[in-house]
């Protein structure tokens, strides 16, 4: 998929672990892993809202468009 999720980068910037984020967002680790590894096919606005709220960022900071499709496509 040509949309990359920069969750790793934002977690490093905020010095937060995946477990902590999942607890704060009240979302399973499995779903966060799907998002982090780029396997996700879609993301709900509610999830995006929670991510932006907890990581204190904009959707554009998390999502990035690249013209070359990744291997997960």
Distance from C-alpha of 55 to C-alpha of 73, rounded to nearest angstrom? 27
**Contact flag: residue 55 with another protein (CB under 8 A):** no
Question: Which three-class secondary structure state does DSSP give residue 27?
Answer: coil
Contact residue for another protein among 10, 21, 32, 62 (CB under 8 A): 32
Question: Which two tokens mark 49?
Answer: 């809202």
Question: Does residue number 22 form part of the binding site for another protein (CB under 8 A)?
Answer: no
Least Å distance, CB 18 to another protein, is 13
Q: State the greatest distance between any 2 C-alpha atoms of the chain, in Å, as a whole number.
A: 34
Q: Which residues bind another protein (CB under 8 A)?
A: 27, 31-32, 34-35, 39-44, 47
């Amino acid at each position: 998929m040509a949309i990359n999720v920069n969750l790793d980068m934002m977690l490093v910037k905020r010095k937060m672990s995946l477990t902590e984020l999942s607890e704060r967002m009240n979302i399973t680790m499995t779903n966060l892993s799907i998002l982090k590894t780029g396997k996700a096919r879609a993301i709900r606005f509610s999830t995006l809202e929670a991510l932006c709220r907890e990581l204190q960022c904009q959707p554009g900071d998390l999502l990035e468009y690249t013209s070359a499709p990744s291997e997960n496509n």
